[in-house]
C-alpha cells in the first residue's frame, strides 16, 4: 500500500522532506503541495503532484490521505486543527504551535477525535546516537541521571527572519524535548542567563544559557549559540550516579594528517540529522498507513511549548519560572512511557 501525502510549506525543510519522501523512502507518494508562495510550491512539486491553492484545499482533498506541515510555527495550529477535523494523520514540524492556549486547543481536538493523529518533528528521538544514549540510561547500570549537558550550536541563522525570541521558542524546543525523553522526566521550571552577546549576530540575543529543572530533581544546562560560525554542533552528556554517557561527535570518521587529528563538522541540521529524519518518516509512514500516529505527540509538543513560554518569561524575570502542566490525557499514555 502507498500512503498518499500532501505537503504544506515548501521552504527549506519542506523541500528536504519532499526529497526524502520521493527519493529515499518507500511506501509513500507526494500527491500534493501548497505554499503561500505558489511559485515556490510549483517549483518544489514532484512530477504529477497537484499544486493546491490553500492548505484547506490540500487537507480536504480526497487524493490526500495524510498531511505533512512544514510551514512557519504560527501557521501550524490552523493546519493541525483542519487535519484533525478531516481525521487525517498529520506530521507537524516543530514547534507544534507557538502558545500554550494553541497547544491545548490542538490537544482538545485530538482527544475529542479519540485517536492519535499528530506526530511532532522532534527528530532527535530517531537519531541512532541519542537512542543508544537513552538505552544506556534506561539500562540503569550508571545509576540515576543527575545532570544533562546539552549543547546546541548553529553556524548561522537567516538574518532578519530569526528573531531574539527564537533561540528560546524555536531552537530550545529540541533540547527541552530530548531532555524529557532521555531522562523520562518532565520540566518543572526554567532559568535563563544571557551572557556577553556575540558580535556575529548583530542585535540578536545570542548566545543564551538555559537551566531546566526536572521533576526528579535532575538539572539540564543548555547552551544555545546560533552564530557560532564553524558549523552545526550538537553535543550531549549525561552525568549519572556511577558514570557518564555522552553522544559521539558526528560524523565519526577521524582524519589524521599533517594538520593534526580531526573530525569534520556538519554544516547544518540537514546534514547532522539526515538519518534521523529518514527514520522519523519511516516510522510516521508506518503509523499513518494504519490511520494513526506514534512518536512525539501533541502532549510532547505542549510540554516543549510550556518550556519555551517559561524561558521567555525567565529572560525578563531573571528568576526561576515554574511550569505546571494539565493532567495528562490517557490518549498520550503514562509519564514513563516516553519511547519514540
Ligand atoms: P522556510 O521559511 O524555509 O519555509 C517555510 C515555508 O512555509 C515558506 O515557503 C512559506 O512561504 C510557507 N508558509 C508559511 N506560512 C504558510 C501558510 N500559512 N500556508 C502555506 N505556506 C506557508 O522555513 P523552514 O526552515 O523550512 O521551517 C519550516 C518549519 O520547519 C518551522 O516550523 C521550523 O521550525 C521547522 N524546522 C524544523 C527543523 C528540524 O530540525 N526539525 C529544521 C528546520 C526547520
Ligand atoms: C531549526 O528550525 C531547527 O529545528 C534546527 O534543528 C535547529 O538546530 C535550529 O536552531 C532551528 O532554527
Residues 71 and 95 in one domain: yes
The protein residue whose alpha carbon is closest to atom 3 in ligand 2 is: 171
User: Residue 23 domain-assigned?
Assistant: yes
Residues 169 and 156 in one domain: yes
Residues 324 and 224 in one domain: yes
Q: Which residue has the cell 501548497?
A: 34
User: Residue 218 domain-assigned?
Assistant: yes
Q: Check if 301 has its Cβ closer than 6 Å to any atom of ligand 1.
A: no
**Bridge pairing between strands 3-8 and 66-69:** parallel
State in Å: Cα 96 to ligand 1 middle.
12
Report d(CA 338, CA 9) in Å as an integer: 29
pLDDT, residue 339, reads 40
pLDDT, residue 337, reads 37
The protein residue whose alpha carbon is closest to atom 8 in ligand 1 is: 11
Q: Check if 269 has its Cβ closer than 6 Å to any atom of ligand 2.
A: yes
The protein residue whose alpha carbon is closest to atom 4 in ligand 2 is: 171
DSSP H or E run through 239? strand 233-240
Number of folded domains in the chain?
A: 2
Nearest atom (ligand 1) to Cα of 277: 41
State in Å: Cα 224 to ligand 2 middle.
11
Residues 313 and 258 in one domain: yes
pLDDT tens track for 200-240: 999 999 999 999 999 999 999 999 999 999 999 999 999 99
By C-alpha distance, which of 15, 19, 83, 97 is closest to 55?
83
Concatenated DSSP letters for 39-90? HHHHHHPPTT-EE-SSHHHHHH-TT-SEEEE-S-GGGHHHHHHHHHHTT--E
CATH of the domain at 203: 3.30.360.10
Residues 288 and 313 in one domain: no
Q: Rounded to a whole number, what is the largest CA-CA distance in the chain?
A: 63
Q: Check if 272 has its Cβ closer than 6 Å to any atom of ligand 2.
A: no
Residues 289 and 198 in one domain: no
State in Å: Cα 269 to ligand 2 middle.
7
Q: Assess: ipTM above 0.95.
A: yes
Q: Which three cell numbers stand for residue 330?
A: 490517557
pLDDT tens track for 71-83: 999 999 999 999 9
Q: Judging by beta carbons within 10 Å of its beta carbon (0-12, 13-18, 19+), is residue 243 exposed, middle or buried?
A: exposed
CB 184 within 8 A of CB 316: no
pLDDT, residue 71, reads 98
Domain limits for position 22 = 3-123+277-296
Report d(CA 254, CA 307) in Å as an integer: 37
Q: Check if 280 has its Cβ closer than 6 Å to any atom of ligand 1.
A: no
User: Residue 340 domain-assigned?
Assistant: no
Residues 128 and 117 in one domain: no
pLDDT, residue 297, reads 98
Q: Which residue has the cell 510550491?
A: 41
User: Residue 336 domain-assigned?
Assistant: no
User: Residue 109 domain-assigned?
Assistant: yes
pLDDT, residue 11, reads 98
Residues 233 and 244 in one domain: yes
CB 214 within 8 A of CB 188: yes
Residues 238 and 132 in one domain: yes
User: Residue 194 domain-assigned?
Assistant: yes
Q: Which three cell numbers stand for residue 90?
A: 498529520
Residues 212 and 128 in one domain: yes
Q: Check if 150 has its Cβ closer than 6 Å to any atom of ligand 1.
A: no
User: Residue 38 domain-assigned?
Assistant: yes
The protein residue whose alpha carbon is closest to atom 7 in ligand 2 is: 171
Residues 143 and 212 in one domain: yes
Low-confidence ranges of the chain (pLDDT < 70): 335-340
Peptide bond into 327 cis (omega under 30): no
Residues 147 and 100 in one domain: no
Report d(CA 301, CA 173) in Å as an integer: 9
Ligand nearest to the CA of 207: 2
Q: Check if 150 has its Cβ closer than 6 Å to any atom of ligand 2.
A: no
State in Å: Cα 145 to ligand 1 middle.
35
DSSP H or E run through 120? strand 118-120
CATH of the domain at 43: 3.40.50.720
By C-alpha distance, which of 40, 36, 37, 29 is closest to 3?
29
Q: Check if 174 has its Cβ closer than 6 Å to any atom of ligand 2.
A: yes
Report d(CA 30, CA 192) in Å as an integer: 41
The protein residue whose alpha carbon is closest to atom 41 in ligand 1 is: 121
pLDDT, residue 335, reads 55
Ligand nearest to the CA of 121: 1
Ligand nearest to the CA of 171: 2
User: Residue 339 domain-assigned?
Assistant: no
Amino acid at each position: 500500500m502507498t500512503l498518499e501525502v500532501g505537503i504544506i510549506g515548501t521552504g527549506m525543510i519542506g523541500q528536504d522532506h519532499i526529497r526524502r519522501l520521493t527519493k529515499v523512502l518507500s511506501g509513500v507518494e507526494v500527491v500534493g503541495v501548497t505554499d503561500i508562495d505558489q511559485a515556490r510550491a510549483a517549483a518544489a512539486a514532484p512530477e504529477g503532484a497537484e499544486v493546491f491553492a490553500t492548505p484547506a484545499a490540500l487537507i480536504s482533498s480526497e487524493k490526500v490521505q495524510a498531511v505533512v506541515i512544514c510551514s512557519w510555527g504560527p501557521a501550524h495550529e490552523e493546519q493541525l486543527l483542519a487535519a484533525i477535523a478531516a481525521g487525517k494523520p498529520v506530521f507537524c514540524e516543530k514547534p507544534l504551535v507557538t502558545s500554550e492556549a494553541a497547544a491545548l486547543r490542538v490537544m482538545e481536538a485530538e482527544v475529542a477525535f479519540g485517536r492519535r493523529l499528530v506526530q511532532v518533528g522532534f527528530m532527535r528521538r530517531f537519531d541512532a546516537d541519542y537512542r543508544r544514549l537513552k538505552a544506556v540510561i534506561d539500562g540503569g547500570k550508571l545509576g540515576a541521571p543527575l545532570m544533562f549537558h546539552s549543547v546546541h550550536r548553529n553556524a548561522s541563522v537567516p538574518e532578519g527572519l530569526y528573531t531574539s525570541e527564537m533561540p528560546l521558542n524555536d531552537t530550545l524546543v529540541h533540547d527541552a524535548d530530548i531532555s524529557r525523553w532521555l531522562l523520562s522526566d518532565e520540566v518543572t521550571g526554567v532559568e535563563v542567563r544571557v551572557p556577553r552577546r556575540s558580535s556575529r549576530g548583530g542585535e540578536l540575543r545570542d548566545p543564551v544559557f538555559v537551566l531546566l529543572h526536572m521533576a526528579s530533581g535532575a538539572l539540564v544546562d543548555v547552551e544555545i549559540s546560533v552564530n557560532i560560525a564553524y558549523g552545526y554542533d550538537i553535543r550531549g552528556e549525561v552525568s549519572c550516579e556511577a558514570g557518564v554517557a555522552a553522544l559521539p561527535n558526528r560524523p565519526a570518521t577521524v582524519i589524521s594528517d599533517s594538520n593534526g587529528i580531526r573530525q569534520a563538522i556538519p554544516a547544518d541540521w540537514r546534514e547532522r540529522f539526515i538519518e534521523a529524519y529518514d527514520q522519523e518518516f519511516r516510522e510516521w509512514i508506518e503509523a499513518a498507513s494504519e490511520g494513526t500516529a506514534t512518536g512525539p505527540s501533541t502532549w510532547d509538543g505542549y510540554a516543549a511549548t510550556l518550556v519555551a513560554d517559561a524561558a521567555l518569561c525567565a529572560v525578563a524575570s531573571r528568576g526561576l519560572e515554574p511550569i505546571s502542566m494539565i493532567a495528562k490525557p490517557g490518549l498520550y499514555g503514562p509519564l514513563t512511557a516516553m519511547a519514540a
